[in-house]
Structure 1
Amino acid sequence: MYSVTLLQAAATPQGSMLSMFLPLALIFVIFYIFIIRPQNKKQKETQKMIDALKKGDKIVTIGGIHGTISSTKEQMVIVKVDENTKIEFSRSAIASVITDKAETASDTEKAGAASEEKGEKKSLFGKIKKDNKKAEESSSEK
């Protein structure tokens, strides 16, 4: 009698098929939203960047080599890294293209360093000019 009830309990499913596959489907949706979709977007942006390479672009390779593209081929680019040094790279070895924004930021840093040499100081709210002559006169009077 006891063995018959065990067989009957094992034969009847405890939950429906939907409740078994719902957590699995939910995990797949979460993976798609947080992992697969952003990776596909990044890959498309990288491919656009590689396709848009042209002569004169400043680039950085995967290995960290900075240079300027001197010519392009179908699958290769020739990068000028120094006055007389050119290296041929695969297009897929290009990590990023340096845009004007990065150059503008470095120009801003250079201007900041030049202003510090002139006696100007920068604060969070703008420039504070320091007149060296007035500071010297007041310190010499004391």
Structure 2
Amino acid sequence: MYLSIFLQASSSGSSLTSMLPFLAMILVLYFFMIRPQMNKQKKEKKFQAGIQKGTRVITTSGIHGKITEINDTDGTVTIETGAGKIKFERAAISLELSKKYQPKEKK
């Protein structure tokens, strides 16, 4: 009787140790891939919500220009480019590319 209780306890401990590598992989995946991507998306949304007229931006398709009009009702912006004015969704404006396009701040 004591032997069967001991064997049951050791088998449950064994299953836990066999699951440990999978749990570690999930944690690593979360902290190195999923969490940084979520933070990047939050920053992108904050940037897109805070754009103003006159801001120089680059769209995700690579079009450079200056924002001339913001339409909050349908979530679009009008960007003046060398070819004229083009209407884009706010989501098409890239934070990463637009940061490089902004003039450097003097300290």
Cα displacement (A) at 1:13:
4.8
Give the TM-score taking structure 1 as reference length.
Answer: 0.58
AA at the equivalent of 2:55: D
Instruction: Supply the distance in 1 between the matched residues of 2:49 and 2:36 (Cα, whole angstroms).
Output: 20
AA at the equivalent of 1:51: A
Residue among 92, 101, 104 paired with 1:101: 104
Instruction: Supply the distance in 1 between the matched residues of 2:86 and 2:12 (Cα, whole angstroms).
Output: 67
Instruction: Supply the distance in 2 between the matched residues of 1:79 and 1:89 (Cα, whole angstroms).
Output: 7
Residue 84 of structure 2 corresponds to which residue in structure 1?
A: 85
Q: Which 4+ residue blocks in structure 1 deviate beyond 6 angstroms?
A: none
Aligned 1:123-142 pairs, distance under 5 A: none
Instruction: Supply the distance in 2 between the matched residues of 1:100 and 1:63 (Cα, whole angstroms).
Output: 21
Residue 52 of structure 2 corresponds to which residue in structure 1?
A: 54
Aligned 1:16-55 pairs, distance under 5 A: 16-55=14-53
More RCO (CA 8 Å, sep 6+):
2
Give the TM-score taking structure 2 as reference length.
Answer: 0.75
AA at the equivalent of 2:40: K
Residue 64 of structure 2 corresponds to which residue in structure 1?
A: 66
Q: Tell me, what secondary structure is at the counterpart of 1:79?
A: strand
Residue 76 of structure 2 corresponds to which residue in structure 1?
A: 76
Of structures 1 and 2, the larger Rg is shown by: 1
Instruction: Supply the distance in 1 between the matched residues of 2:104 and 2:57 (Cα, whole angstroms).
Output: 14
